[in-house]
Amino acid sequence: MLPCFLLLFDGTLSGTPTHANTGFMILMYFFETYLDLRQHAALKLPTLPKTLVGVISQEKFEKSRAYSLDKSHFHFVHEFVSILMDSSILFFGVLPWFWKKSGDFLVLVGLNAENEILHTLAFLAGVMIWSQITDLPFSLYSTFVIEARHGFNKQTIWLFFRDLVKGICLAVILGPPIVSAIIIIVQKGGPYLAIYLWAFMFVLSIVMMTIYPILIAPLFNKFTPLSEGGLREKIENLASSLKFPLKKLFVVDGSTRSSHSNAYMYGFFKNKRIVLYDTLIQQCKNDEEIVAVIAHELGHWKLNHTMYSFIAVQILTFLQFGGYTLVRNSSNLFRSFGFDTQPVLIGLIIFQHTVIPLQHLVSFGLNLVSRSFEFQADAFAKKLGYTSSLRVALVKLQEENLSAMNTDPWYSAYHYSHPPLVERLAALDEPDKKAD
């Protein structure tokens, strides 16, 4: 919910030495580990849910079960290492130490450490290096062991590192001007600081949503127009019938990296585009199944789900910036974290961790809303007459992606933004309610 650049170090150097925040972080680790254990037990069940018996093949179920258990084991290790690192960083006061060392580095290379923008950028550079070093082993293992073992990884090691370098270059290009602008706004914002910060992030989000699919996404994937034929005609006819302003219809080469499948749409106002993963086209041999998936996505648009979600994020962002303005000048708060000065970026990090309990509640609430939206989008596709095709598509995508067939209700309620397959099929199978 904070600006996206803060996520670069949300799980590494961010934190607070205060006992309350450290204790809550550890408490949440135990709570989420308990949910993970419940989910792990559900994944170990040797039989399909009754609803999926005869729908999902036993062979696919066994493959899905093995894949899910592999990911679950990996998750336990990853989370344990993460909490161990985070707790150590908090306990030993690494964050203020790292801030001081970044200033010392600037002095060493002949730059002004009193310049907060330069100091912050040096700090972030160190954080990015640390993040890449600590995340790389897990990313490599996940991609080239787990995903490869179950037939999903299509990347070469060269492509993996090429993507990594491209991502770092983008962060180096885009990060400094964004961070600099935020620091200047906070320094000069005055009583309307929250409004200025929100307005800047609002404009930035619009700009990024505009340039990402045009300039950034093509750096990683190849987008080609969907060839003429029955599938293209059916999608265009569906879009036209709903008055969806479809301007371009692309296929993206997702298969160069993974055999997982997806579809999405983007664009503002009268300039909408739909993107299909080539793996989706390969997995759904029947065009009607793909069109049913698109009908579901168009349901999100027709029902204004994207707009509602965007508005909700804007409101939450504004409230969070408003809360930040209440504590940003608290020298006692900064000292409790081990800082003698009050850097803007550090203030944002500190505030983020003081509202962690609220963030968990908000995240849970947003997941509830998201699941409701998914049911509504399914119902929208159902009203268009795609019930059977959507049902087949959902089952096929579940099979081909080896998604978990058995899910713990507590775990899915807390983590899932999409309902489990069993619940979606049950909703599709419900008879339509007729007005009296």
Per the annotation, where are the binding residues for Zn(2+)?
296, 300, 374
Give the Cα separation of 322 and 1 in Å (integer).
13
> Scanning the structure block, which residue is given the tokens 């309902």?
419
Give Dmax over CA atoms of the chain in angstroms. Answer: 80
Q: Which of 147, 297, 400, 423 is catalytic?
A: 297
**297 is annotated as an active-site residue:** yes
Catalytic residue among 86, 116, 147, 378: 378
How many Å apart are CA 268 and CA 282, to the nearest integer? 29
Q: Name the residue among 367, 384, 360, 383 with its Cα closest to residue 419.
A: 367
Residue 11 main-chain phi, psi, to 5 deg: -100, 10
**Interatomic CA distance for residues 1 and 157, integer angstroms:** 33
Rounded CA separation 349/9 (Å):
9
Token pair belonging to 352 = 């983020």
User: How many CB atoms are located within 10 Å of the residue 23 CB?
Assistant: 10
Nearest-10 Cα torsion for 245, 247, 253, 254? -20
**Can 104 be counted among the known catalytic residues?**
no
Which residues are tagged catalytic? 297, 378
